[in-house]
Amino acid sequence: MAFSESQIPPDAQHYLVCGTEDCEKNCQFYCNDCHQPMCEQCRDEHQKNKKTKNHEVVHYKQRKRPLPVEKCKIHPTRNIELLCEECQIPICSKCTATREHRGHAFTDLEFVFDEKVSLKCHEEIAKIRNYSDPISQDLKKEIAGDVTEIKKIMEDLRASMKAEAESVKKTVDTITSEKIEQVDKIEQSLLETLINQNQQIDDYINYLNDLIKTYYGYLSPSNIEQLTFALKSENLMIRPIPETSKPVPPVFTAGQYSKEDVAKLLGRITVPNAIPENRKIKPMETASTQLKPTEKQRKQDREKSDVKQTLSRFPSVTKVREYTVPGVDGVNHISLGKSGRLWVSDNIGNLVQTDLQGNQLQKIQTSGELEGYHTVTQDGDLIYTDQDNKVINKITPDNTITEFIKTGDWEPHSIYSSHINGDILVGMYRKVTRYNKTGTEIQNIQRDNKGQLLYNLPHYITENINGDVCVSDYKIAVVVVNKSGQHRFSYTGQGFGFDPYGICTDIYGHILVCETNNNTVHLLDRDGQLLSLLLTSLQLGLQCPRSVCVDDENHLWMGQCNTNANRVSTLIFTYQ
């Protein structure tokens, strides 16, 4: 399926066909003179043709974008195609002979657009992606950490007050309640401030996304006036990042108590008279220099990464709940839904919906087997693959089953609904296809930059917090590509016979993958380094772990394929 450039998101990797008539091969090249995309074979024929052998043919990414066709107002039969360097206005070729432009220098308007406007827009987009947006995302994380810290501080304050109140007569209960209410009001005020700051950052991020669309608009202008405005405009400045401040929590001061002066002896709540410290925003110059780090900086980054990995190498895992799922012959895949419900499947096509007590709510028969063939979307719908009919079906909350996506000649095996943008990732034989939330194909991931196949059979698939696509390739490896489809790394275990199954990621960007041969779950960082084998040293009693997923509260759900114990276990793990 082919799309025009205006239909495809800026970051999407898509299948573009050759522009030669009756040729539907993959486009790799572009003729800047004809403004035509072409495949390798058509390029060779184009360069052999006497009429076109001197044309400039380049790789598609190096193409010059064509100008919009617009007639000259002075000479209506001619197209505007030049820029008068002295007058700085677009003109046609006939205008060059007029008295107004006699003796002036002229530049190909197409060259100006490609060399100046395109460069300017890409520079501004790079600033947003490499500076403004990452720092805004970091500020959101910092604000979220402050929310957690404020809540913890407030809980500590309440605990301190209650500890003192326990040793005092019942007459102090009223005073204690008043002071707790005071803490609640202070907490509410501080959290409201943080929520407002968070909203400011959200609004700014939306502004950045809109600005990116504006710059992309200048890459494909609809008229000359818009192009001229882009050329002349020097005040397309990115609005500065909103300033936010760290909250100043109150401090509880404990006191001595007596019957005579209970109110004074229970201590008091005070808010320090301090000016909130503004969060630090790295200057643009500093951020720019870090786009090309020095060897020393790269070494420091590796050292920091090593420290971070050491801190998180041995997570603490505690089993919370374990129950048997009725109606399945082993738990091969789990999809967490809303309202405390989950979908569980086995290797003979049974797909069961259950609550957290193990009660069966719904059961359907599918063609699924040993793969992660179902997922829950952002809207709460369940979508699952049908290999026999080569389609993807959808079950809405009212239990209506509809045919959602047809996959043509490809059998869909694994599927995952993105928590970032709602895109749908589908693992097929030797490739991964991305669809948007409406079911339109927008990306195919199949080979690395050397032309080698990335996958054999992606039978489990997920997405990391940074947009990486993580695939459990049947009996081979964990294969990870970035959101553009470029290969990042492959993880093949720690010895002979690596057999990966269920895969997921957590809120820290770690990758967890079940490995059934050794009854373990491998915990990797986002760059593919092994942090720990979760179940080897913890003897949690699981046999043949097949499925794994993590919810929004970092609760780890695991399923077994052992037919004598079709259990789903819920575990909570924390990083210390």
Helix (H/G/I), strand (E/B), else coil: 564: coil
Pair 149, 230 in one domain: yes
Q: Give helix 173-219 / helix 118-127 axis angle, nearest 10°.
A: 160
Pair 321, 277 in one domain: no
**CATH number of domain containing 554:** 2.130.10.10
Within 8 A by CB and 6+ apart from 65, the residues are: 113, 114, 118, 219, 220
Of 7, 4, 1, 9, give the one whose Cα is nearest residue 421: 9
Complete edge-to-edge strand list for the sheet that includes strand 545-550: 316-324, 567-574, 555-560, 545-550
Please give the pLDDT value at position 477: 94
Q: What is the 8-class DSSP label of residue 79?
A: B
Please give the pLDDT value at position 4: 40
Pair 159, 274 in one domain: yes
3-state secondary structure 433-501: EEECCCCCEEEEECECCCCCECCCCEEEEEECCCCCEEEEECCCEEEEECCCCCEEEEECCCCCCCCEE
Pair 243, 334 in one domain: no
Whether residue 71 lies inside any domain: the answer is: no
Pair 463, 568 in one domain: yes
Distances in whole angstroms, Cα of residue 547 to Cα of each of 5, 346, 370:
39, 10, 10
Helix (H/G/I), strand (E/B), else coil: 345: strand
Q: How far apart are CA 38 and CA 35, in angstroms?
A: 10
Pair 43, 129 in one domain: no
* Residue written as token pair 């502004």: 207
* Residue written as token pair 């909203």: 199
Please give the pLDDT value at position 265: 63
Please give the pLDDT value at position 488: 94
Amino acid letter for position 228 = T
Pair 131, 210 in one domain: yes
Pair 371, 254 in one domain: no
Within 8 A by CB and 6+ apart from 107, the residues are: 82, 83, 85
Please give the pLDDT value at position 178: 83
Pair 332, 426 in one domain: yes
Please give the pLDDT value at position 264: 66
Pair 250, 177 in one domain: yes
Query: How many structural domains does the chain have?
Result: 3
Of 409, 404, 408, give the one whose Cα is nearest residue 374: 404
Tokens of 173: 């209960």
Whether residue 113 lies inside any domain: the answer is: no
The DSSP bridge partners found for residue 476 are none
DSSP of 257-319, one letter per residue? --STTHHHHT-EEE----PPPBPP---HHHHHHTTS--HHHHHHHHHHHHHHHHHTSS-EEEE
Which of 62, 83, 100 represents a domain boundary (last residue)? 62
Per-residue burial over 239-278, b if 16 or more Cβ lie within 10 Å, else e, is: eebeebebbebbebeeeebeeeebeebbbebeeeeeeeee
Q: How far apart are CA 18 and CA 37, in angstroms?
A: 5
Whether residue 79 lies inside any domain: the answer is: no
Handedness of CA 484, 485, 488, 491 (dihedral sign): positive
Give me the residues of the chain with pLDDT under 50, please: 1-14, 287-294, 296-297, 299-314, 537-538, 575-576
Phi and psi torsions of 163, nearest 5°: -65, -40
Please give the pLDDT value at position 5: 42
Whether residue 497 lies inside any domain: the answer is: yes
> How close are the terminal C-alpha atoms of the chain, in Å?
48
Determine the structural domain holding residue 43 and report its residue range: 5-62
Of 527, 557, 513, give the one whose Cα is nearest residue 466: 527
Phi and psi torsions of 190, nearest 5°: -65, -45
Pair 224, 166 in one domain: yes
Whether residue 302 lies inside any domain: the answer is: no
DSSP of 120-143, one letter per residue? HHHHHHHHIIIIIHHHHHHHHHHH
Q: What is the pLDDT of residues 362-407, one digit of tens each?
A: 999 999 988 999 999 988 899 999 999 999 999 988 888 999 999 9
Whether residue 69 lies inside any domain: the answer is: no
Helix (H/G/I), strand (E/B), else coil: 514: strand
Please give the pLDDT value at position 480: 96
Please give the pLDDT value at position 536: 58
Whether residue 452 lies inside any domain: the answer is: yes
Q: What is the pLDDT of residues 323-359, one digit of tens each?
A: 788 888 888 999 988 777 899 998 899 999 988 888 8
* Cβ proximity of 31 and 38 under 8 Å: yes
Please give the pLDDT value at position 22: 82
Q: Give helix 224-232 / helix 173-219 axis angle, nearest 10°.
A: 120
Amino acid letter for position 347 = N
Complete edge-to-edge strand list for the sheet that includes strand 341-345: 333-336, 341-345, 350-355, 360-365
* Cβ proximity of 514 and 372 under 8 Å: no
* Cβ proximity of 552 and 338 under 8 Å: no
Whether residue 290 lies inside any domain: the answer is: no
